[in-house]
Each structure stands twice: as structure tokens, then as C-alpha cells.
Structure 1
Amino acid sequence: MDAEFERHCSELVARERSGHTAVVEENLLYVWGGYMSVADDEVFLPNNEIWVYDLERGLWEVFHMTGEIPPSMSGTCSCSLNGHMYIFGGCDDNGQTNQIYCVNLTDGKYMWKKIIHEIGSAPSPRDKLSCWVHNGRIIYFGGYGHKQLTDVDSRNMSFIIDEASWVEDVFYGWNNEVHIFDPTQASWSEPQTHGRAPAPRAAHASATAGGRGYICGGRVMETRTSDVHCLDFKSWTWSEIIPVSSTPVGRSWHTLTAVSDSTLFLFGGLSVDCKPMSDGWLLDVEKKTWREVGHPYKNKPRLWHTACPGKDSDVIVFGGSCDYILLVDTGHCNDALVFQMQPYPLFRICEDYIAKNVRNCELLRNQLPLLPPTLLTAVQMRMSFYRPSKKQKD
């Protein structure tokens, strides 16, 4: 695998963070929330700002947010649907939540709206869950949170109690529940699933590909796993993918990103022995094979980061921690790592070559004005990405 680049070309860069949310829309990376370590404290990032990274120009901007602003938190679950970012769950200063908010990413207003459901019941409060987007609906899975004693059925294995954490009539634990939110009807529902469901878990990774939702690994009670399960959205049937090759070690706080209808990319996480990971793996869901892939970020372990699909099958990883996050001196990150997962189209290869070399090649500089207007604009935007940073100039 030919991996690409990591670059910060502007002096304005998003603050370091872990447990944040991020989505890509129209070649822009939107980052919200999360937390960072300050001295001995864990501090939530401001809830009224959203950071936007232009993947073409390599420039960061920050925008003020208004409206019904959600509380500052980490561990919330986000996705992009019809130009809006939806967030659900998470942990704030008062513990886990079960509220859902959305913000339009395309109108430039960045106004939050708290969604009050009109049909069904919201899931119980939780964080470190995951979601899939399918047919205009958001499908949530798993997470760690709390339920009232009256809502816990000891015969139902969809919720496993964390015996070290219950408080009076409130029980904390992991779940494997599937909940569907339909934005058009503001409705919650629970599908009747079939097959053997994955064990309840949190801090797992998920991806949507080919009409199916996949989950991988995560924290299952006191261990971390690398098992892979698939939920078919037509039949709502669970199945486990048993690999026929070597597999990644068990982990949590990693990411899983679809790079095709049959291929998923796993990156980073925290291993069973609490080691921050920097390995990358490709899973072929049809052949049921894992393959470890090389990349230039082996010295950049990440956990509780985000990973988003970009154009040309790129995977954009942002932020996260490079240490075991329960340490006092946790090292949070703010770099954007772009993984090239497929060969680029010839147009992009040419565009990148010109943008990267025009400053040092007089022939290219002289011929630049001869390019067609559309191509010239694209190259000029890309030149911004490759321009020297202030540190390089100094």
C-alpha cells in the first residue's frame, strides 16, 4: 500500500484531543468535541466551536456554533447524513447521555438543533458506541452506559452489568442492542434481529459496506477482542466472520473504515496488554482474510482517534492519544494522517505532481498560466497544501 501524507500547512491547527467526533463532507473534515489532558485534569474541548480541515488546501478554520448546543463531551457517536452531522450519546460532566443533536454542515451557519423524538423510545444513556448509516436511517450498536434496575432483565444477555460500577438502583454495563433512528420521522425503533449477536461491548469499531454493518473488536467486559461480526440490513441477521488467515491482536479504541464494498481498513487502538497500536490491516469480507499493510505512520500509534473515508478511497485519521489514556500524562494528538488505500486516478497524480513541484521548477511555473481555468484553479488550491510551513521557512 502506498501511503500518502501528513501535513499542517497553516499556523491555525485544531487543538489536540481524544474521544472526539469527525466526519468528512465535500472534501472537508469536520471535528467537534472530545477532551484533552491539562496538568492532572481531563478537560472537555469547547462545545460551541467546530474545526474544519480543507483536505485539498491543507488549511484549518474554526467556526463559532449557535443554536441548541450540546454539552461538551467525549465518546459521542457521530455520522454524516444528507449534509448534516448527527451526534448521539456520549459522556459529559454528569455522565452518559442519550440525547441526539444535528447540525447542518452545508449552510455555513453551524446551528445545532436538539432533536426531540416523536415516535418510540430513545436508547438508555451510553457512550463509546458506534453507528451505521443505511437508507436514510442511522443504526446504533453497543456502548457502555447505565440502566435503572427496573430496566435490567437478568435473562436478557443484551446488557452485561459491570459489577464494579453499580450505584444503588443504577447499573452500569455493556450492551449489544441495535437501535434505529429515522430523522425524517424523528422516530426510534428496535429491529428484531436474527442469528447470534456479538457479545455486548464498547470502544469497538464499525463500518458500513455493501448493505451490511460490520463491527470489530472492542472492550468485552474485562478483555479486548478482534472478532468481526456482520449485520445484514435486509434480513437483520447477524453472522460472525471467522478469518482463515492471521488476525490482528485484540484491541479497543481503534477504527474500521470501508474502502470498498468488500474491504475494510483497521487502524490503531489499545491492545490487550494496554499497548497503543499503530498497525494497519485490510479485511476482505468475502475471502475472510486479514492482511497487514505497510504505511508511513508506524511511529504514530493512535487510540480513541477518528477515521473517515475521503475521496479516491483515502482514509483520514485525526487526533487521538498516542499513550494509554488512563495515564496522567496522556499525549493527545492533532495531526491529520491520510492513508492512500487505492491507486490514484491519473488526474489526481498529475495535479499533485504539479502542485508539489511548481515552486522549484521554472518550467512548470511558466506553463502554469496555460492550464485550462478549471484545472488551474484545482492546482492552485492544491499548491496551498504543499506550500512550506512557517517552521520550514524559519
Structure 2
Amino acid sequence: MENSTVPRVVDWVGTQTELGRSDHTAVVNGNILYVWGGCQTVIGQEVTLPSDEMWMYDMESGLWSLSAMSGDVPPLLSQTCSSYLQGHLYVFGGCDGHAHTNQMYRVNLDDREFVWKRLTDTEGTPPSPRDKHSCWVYGERIIYFGGYGCKTVRELNNEKNFTVDHTSWATIGTVIFRFWGWNNEVHMFEPETNSWSEPQTQGACPSPRASHASAVVGSKGYVCGGMDSTLIDLHCLDLDTWTWTQVYSTVGTLPVGRSLHTLTAVSESKLFLFGGLSATGQPLSDAWEFDTRTKEWKQWDHQHKEKPRLWHSAGLGNNGDVIVFGGTQDYTVLMDSVAVLRSPSKNHCADVLIFQTQPYSLLR
């Protein structure tokens, strides 16, 4: 019989070894930062962290607490995509240690019971299995974009939406007539009806990509990076008309191209970009603000310049603060004759970085 008692919650004085992680999920709700999953490096190997634990950081007291989770606990997942809607954390896709998945899980964060539910019997066709994708939350819907995964020959019905990773033929999988690569598809999930759909978009869509960043401002979904380019590219999808446009900045300097970074909406017209991995393999610590009205990038002068981050999380806190947690600062890229390989990071960060994006009130 399932234990219906409230899960164990304990105060925790975290250490680098216990709390440091990358590739995790983080949600800011009020004064609490919820952190789930991720990976750490153990004896030179990247290890996926348990999926039946929820870490909570109280930003007022500075204390961490740990709670057990129950229900339909997801498998150990990496490179998944998460979203927060109506008090629930949704987790979709990723790798489960054996293959890419397209499963959806949900947990209520507000009731503090932390009981997972796997969403099955959905209507419509879900996206193909993928990882390193992103999503927007708009109009009580979750809208997914891009990612890296596999498709059969039959599924490759639109070459413009999928770029084949030719190196994967030698390094991934054994199934004949299955192709791996990047996509620029848009899929929508509606929790109220438990249904999937694929909106038909128009306009100049972004090229297929993964490890990019996305954010919503008003009715517009923005996506940037994730490509091997010298300068950052920025694209906008109108979530009412499903029309893509590429956003060009005609004023000032552009950030360098990057992946594994974060993009956070901090006001009705501004986006905040932080960190990532440059196209040349360098961890970044720069911070930028983009004004969606003036189409201008502005670099920030901040106190965390000596703390580069990639593969981290970022969320909007109280008073416009951007809360950055985890990630790594010593990511290494190795090359061989077949593919680009990633060396495990030696140090996964455990500190919380606060970026103040607007003046505080006198009370604060």
C-alpha cells in the first residue's frame, strides 16, 4: 500500500559534493528554489542523480532542505526539459540511461507531498523522443521547441525540420533506417485536455538546434543560441498566430554565439542572458539584457564575472532577481576523427548567484 504520509523533510547544510550539480531542473516559487535531478562527477564519470528527491533552498534563511518523492517516480533522466504551470512541475523527454524518451511526468509542488504522476493515455501524437530541447508556457499550455533525437525514415517527411547528424551513424544506435539529428519542430501540450498537437507555423523559422535557451515575453516565445555560430541569433514565435520572425539588433554589440546558457524574461519587454559555452569551447560568465522593443543588446557589469557557468539553471525571483544555481565552469570539449566528445566536468557548482535586474524597493 502506498504510504500517504507527508514525505520526510530535513534541514541540510549542503556541501559542494552533496549539492553541486549540472543539467538539473530548477523552479523558483516565492522564496523557495526547488531543485530536482541533474548530474555529478564521481571518480571521473558523470552520474545521474536520484529522481526521487526534491531539494529546496529557502532564499530568506539561506537553508537547504531535502524531501523524498513517491508515486510514478521517473527513471534517472538527463538532458530533459521542465516547465512550471499552475503549481505543477512538468518534465518531458530526455535520456533515461538506455535511450531517448518522450514521456511526460508531473508533480505538484504546492502541496509539498511530492507525488509523481506519469501522464499516459494522452490524445494526439506526442513529439518523437528527444533531449536538449526547450519550452515556453503560455495560455495554460506548454509549447516545446527543437532538441536532438532520432527519427525513422517514415518520420523524416520534412527535411527542413530535421538536420541529420552524420557522425551518429558511427557512434549511436544499431537500428537500421533510424536517423539521429536536430529538429526545429513546435509541439504543444494542453494539461487540461491531456492532449498533444503540432501547430502549423509560418515565417522564417530557426534552423534545427539543441542546447539552446528560450523564454516568453507577453505572447511571444523567444529562442536563441544552440548553434555553432560566431554571434548569437535570436528568433521570435508569435504564440497566437504561430508566425516566426528572426530578430535583428541594429544597435550596439551582439553577444558571442553559445549553447548551454540561460535566457530569462525579467519584465514585459526585457530578456536576461547569462553564461553558456562559446562556439570555441570556452565557458562564459558574461551577462546581457535584450530589449524586445528597441531590439538592442546591452552587456551587464556584474559581480559574478569570475564565476563562469554553463549547463546551469536560471529563474525569476522576487523583485526581478534572476536566480542562477548549479552548472559547471570547467567543461571540456575533446575532438577525435569521428565525433565531438564531452569530457566529464570536474567541478559542479553548488552556489546560488543572484542578479539584481531592477532597483529594490525601500522595504526590500
TM more than 0.5: yes
- Which one of 290, 293, 308 corresponds to residue 283 of structure 1? 290
1:262 CA drift (Å): 0.8
Q: 1:19 aligns with which of 20, 23, 29?
A: 23
Q: Which has the higher contact order (CA 8 A, sep 6+)?
A: 1
Aligned counterpart for 1:338 among listed residues 308, 331, 354: 354
Is the contact between residue 231 and residue 255 of structure 2 (CA under 8 Å) also seen in structure 1?
A: no
Structure 1 distance, partners of 2:184, 2:280, is 24
Equivalent residue, structure 1, for 2:220: 212
Structure 1 vs Structure 2: percent identity of aligned residues? 53
> Quick one: structure 1 residues 302 and 109, their matched pair in 2 at CA, closer, same or farther if it must change by over 3 Å?
same
The structural deviation recorded for 1:40 is 2.2
2:5 corresponding residue in structure 1:
none
Measured after TM superposition, the shift of residue 213 of structure 1 is 0.5
Secondary structure of the 2:202 match is: coil
1:232 aligns with 2:235: no
CA RMSD, 1 decimal: 1.5
Corresponding residue for residue 367 of structure 1: none
CA distance in 1, matches of 2:168, 2:121: 30
Q: State how far apart, in whole Å, the 2-side matches of 1:292 and 1:131 are.
A: 25
1:38-65 Cα distance to aligned partner (Å, 9 max, x none): 1221100011101011112211101000
Distance 1:235 1:76 in 2: 27
In 2, Cα distance between equivalents of 1:132 and 1:224: 26
Instruction: Indicate yes or no: 2:168 matched with 1:165.
Output: yes
- By how many angstroms is 1:328 displaced? 3.9
Q: In structure 2, what residue type is equivalent to 1:51?
A: W
Given that 1:176 and 1:198 are in contact with CA atoms closer than 8 Å, whether structure 2 keeps it comes out as yes
Question: Retained in 1: the 8 A contact 2:220–2:239?
Answer: yes
Give the aligned partner of residue 69 of structure 2.
65
Structure 2: distance between partners of 1:196 and 1:184: 31
Q: Give the counterpart of 2:319 among 312, 316, 331.
A: 312
Aligned to 1:302: 309
Conserved? CA contact 1:218–1:225, under 8 Å: no
Alignment of 1:191 onto 2:199: yes
SS at match of 2:314: strand
How far is 1:224 from its partner?
A: 6.9
Aligned match for 1:119, one of 119, 123, 126: 123
Compare the two structures and name the one with the higher helix fraction.
Answer: 1
Q: How big is the shift at 1:28?
A: 1.0
TM-superposition CA deviations, 1:131-182 (whole Å, max 9, x none)? 00001000000011111222113x4310111011034222110000000000
User: 1:266 Cα deviation (Å)?
Assistant: 0.3
The CA deviation string for residues 13-70 of structure 1, in whole angstroms up to 9 with x for no partner, is 5521111111112321111111111122110001110101111221110100000011
Larger radius of gyration: 1
The Cα offsets for residues 334-363 of structure 1, whole Å up to 9 and x where unpaired, read as 111111100011111xxxxxxxxxxxxxxx
Distance 2:212 2:112 in 1: 32
- 1:117 deviation in Å? 4.1
Higher strand share: 2
**Which residue in 1 is equivalent to 2:102?**
98
SS of equivalent to 1:297: coil
Residue of structure 2 aligned with 1:51, choices 48, 55, 60: 55
Instruction: Tell whether the 8 Å contact from 1:87 to 1:101 is kept in structure 2 after alignment.
Output: yes
Q: Output the CA distance in 1 between the equivalents of 2:76 and 2:159.
A: 33
Q: Matches of 1:160 and 1:239 in 2, distance apart?
A: 20
SS in 2 for 1:312: helix
Q: Which letter maps to 2:261? A: H
Is contact 1:39–1:329 with CA below 8 Å preserved after alignment?
no
Q: For residues 194 and 226 of structure 1, do their structure 2 counterparts lie closer, same or farther at Cα, with a shift above 3 Å needed?
A: same
Gaps of 5+ in 1: 1-8, 349-394
Separation in 2 of the partners of 1:25 and 1:70?
Answer: 22
Post-superposition Cα deviations, 1:95-122, rounded to whole Å, max 9, x if no partner, equal 2211110000011110000001431011
Match of 1:181 among 182, 186, 189: 189
Q: CA deviation at 1:188?
A: 0.3
Structure 2 gaps of 5+ residues are 1-10, 333-341
Task: Compute the displacement of 1:329 (Å).
Answer: 4.7
Contact 1:101–1:115 (CA under 8 A) maintained in structure 2: yes
Q: What residue identity is the alignment partner of 1:12? A: G
- Find the residue that maps to 2:363 and give its secondary structure: helix
Q: Does residue 324 of structure 1 match 2:331?
A: yes
Tell me the matched-pair count: 337
**Scaled by the length of structure 1, what TM-score is found?**
0.83
Do the aligned residues in 2 keep the contact of 1:241 with 1:288 (CA within 8 Å)?
yes
The alignment partner of 1:36 has SS state of strand
